[in-house]
Chain A
């Protein structure tokens, strides 16, 4: 239940039902039923079994079973539903795809639960927030990541404490059978770049230097000296 004063911006995945009374922006996926109360303002895609809208919704809706737009409700967005009820007085604009086929064709895009890494080594304290796939071989081109910095969501302690202004966090990850490391380049809590280094004990600091130069950080040199922790994958 999100009350009238509650506000969520981002991605929500709930196993169970959800009732929204406040403001939601982003993406909502619920395995059970979704209820949008009269005063709620939702600017998000909604997916659920039964979806009941009495407030304002702006976004696509997938109702595996039934979508109801009550007379106080307003919905602007395309819908895929099993069944649809629109009460007189409701506002609705969008494309309607209906029937069992429409519901089945709806992408069942579950938001992946954070992957848990098996048995972290005692000295390598990590809880990587990324699903393991992202750490697997394909090398991430650091430059492409710069354009889309993402917030690091986990509260996992960075294994290497860098000195205050230093922007580099190296996150070593143990995979069964082999060593891999992700180097995360971050400013404050914002990740600017990360790339996996599989089977490699040391990140390539030349890459960091070039990135730092491109972002015109003064800290390239400082960073190098800043992380002196005994991790297998940090700086030389």
Chain B
């Protein structure tokens, strides 16, 4: 019996390859669009940050402390957007095939934005006498160096949802060696492992649970003005 092989094998391989190439091409096109999108978002956020600085200057130079709540609100919105973009940037950067360099530069931009915000937050805290506003500097790294960073991020997101504008979290990607501020901060805070958290100047190394962090953040409040969760936490500690 004549059992000829057919050219269909090659045709099927060709069509499959075309579909794959189309997918790859789409992926690459989107990658470029992602870079542009993050750049655009970054510019918008830069503008918001400048607005924040202006608000701060206005408050301090004209002694307008009564307007402190307004700046807290702007800060909160700004930090939320920054965190979301940064999260998106992390995902895009992980999936990037071609524009890796562009993504590293964008990450540096975001890191600088985080650090600038942190410095401004410290100044706002002093000027507005906001002793109950907590700040967390969160040093994280890639999966290889920090297998627990995923868990820590979950805990921090959770706390952020509880305290809202009373807690500002600044995430520092310590794997960005290109950024001169990273070695400097590492040396100042003696960072040797990840995750490391600086919560209101107190250092926590390794994975920290929400209960531990609650204890630290809640200690900032006088009993009367403490949020509900802190009161509950305090009762729990007392009953134990």
Whether both chains belong to one complex is answered with: no
